[in-house]
A and B are shown apart, each in its own frame.
Chain A
């Protein structure tokens, strides 16, 4: 049966309700607009699958099931397989074993399911404490906490440089982009480290540690 699922309460709604393009859920009364596509009726038009004929002598059999005739070749490992053991992935046809491996390892961009964006992590380390500082000032009440975030930069700035250099060659987003974020993170972190260095020198000088040694 074909249903449109209510996005608010999850109730199954008949597609006829959206014949005009818009309808309200009969359960939660939430109004929603829907474009119904032919695939909704696909399950109605499908006939139950029939078992394929067993392979005859001389036929290439499926690597995974000897009772099935091989009809496909895995684009990745090259084995012969039947339709039941194959999956179409974009323009490639892969066996289910390879599909699982490829998705788990994520070496090929077309099969990747997630990525860590190290350039954003480095940027976060570099700019994060400052963003938190601004946010805390905006709260007015907790503006004094902002000062605490500045101390974080003592750790986060070197961490930003480490992450940026460690993952300099690591793949970034699936959508190609340059290394601008990494460069920005390094530059801003260097400024912060420079500021910390200057502060330490000034403080040491203030306490007379340098002057004593010089004299």
Chain B
């Protein structure tokens, strides 16, 4: 998509259904698409910078729901694909494709980050800006919009002192909260560390080493232990990731946890594949149905060299990711050291009492 045309510069969005936002010389051009999958119609709104009263952002948990739903869906379809593969190859391929699509969608959610709804308020409307559906892009766009609006509204005189309702001191235009402050005072909690992340890091590290050692330890108890550690590591990483995205953490921690989760998923799927392949060597169906015998066969499996190239690097990579997560699992800064953002007035204040009793001017 073009980055600029005529007097306009692209702020966000694309040719898709959500439309796009364009910065004009004195107004914001909002393009909204209407249709199904493809936009068949476009609607244009032009909003003067001078008329924008507020930029509003509301965080939404949609991306987490998508992530969990698609992640679980991908896992289920992957297992279904593996099960169906031996019976009907076509069905196995179909399930694998669905699993792949769901997996990619889940990964996309992780990469794009938290979702939000963004709005601009003018005197006559509150307009939702659909292209700004992610916190990251919304922050960047709001920063640009804010500076342009401030520039075009510099002529507006300051409000007279005490004119604000409910005795709440109004923020002066030049002292309005900037997007920088807004990012600092986001709804996220400061990172104080998490036992889940610590557990996830430790178990990922341990499981990585165990996977690498798998080919050299033939005992079945080791295989069982590895599977157990793997399952617990996956669950704790999933919970850790959810904890992390709800807090103000270094971006690297989120990325490492996401990578760990993806690697664990791959390792788990590969393990299930290996179990199915080894199980297929059983003499009869009755023997195939006995899971402990399949485990025995897998534990006793000795690599002919090919598996080593896959299993050992995967295990070591997993261990490395676990090692990278560990230093960030605990907060380096004490909570008391973090400057607390200014909180809105409590409901015990006289202003709030006025609000409750409905004695404000427009009440």
Contacts and interface: CB of A to CB of B under 8 A. Distances in A.
Contacts of A1: 165, 361-362
B94 A36 contact: no
Interface in A46-91: 90-91
Interface residues of A, number: 57
A19 B171 contact: yes
Nearest to B116: A33
Given A16-B345, A174-B42, A35 B163 contact: no
A175 B2 contact: yes
B153 A37 contact: yes
A7 B149 contact: no
A131 interface: yes
Given A19-B342, A32-B57, A38 B153 contact: yes
Chain B at the A interface: SS class: mixed
Contacts, number: 217
B177 A16 contact: no
B314 interface: no
A176 B123 CA distance: 31
Task: Tell me if A's interface is mostly helix, strand, loop or mixed.
Answer: mixed
Contact of A14 (B27, B123, B165, B342): B165
Contacts of B24: 90
A21 interface: yes
Interface string A124-142: 1000000100000110100
Contacts of A176: 2, 5
A16 B59 contact: no
A107 interface: no
Contacts of A214: none
Given A17-B344, A45-B159, A35 B182 contact: yes
A117 interface: yes
22 contacts: A1-B361, A7-B58, A12-B362, A14-B164, A15-B168, A19-B168, A21-B181, A31-B58, A33-B57, A35-B54, A37-B149, A38-B176, A39-B123, A39-B149, A39-B156, A40-B54, A42-B53, A113-B43, A124-B37, A131-B37, A138-B101, A175-B20
The 9 tightest CB contacts between A and B, nearest first, are A16-B168, A38-B173, A21-B177, A41-B159, A21-B182, A20-B342, A40-B53, A38-B153, A35-B55
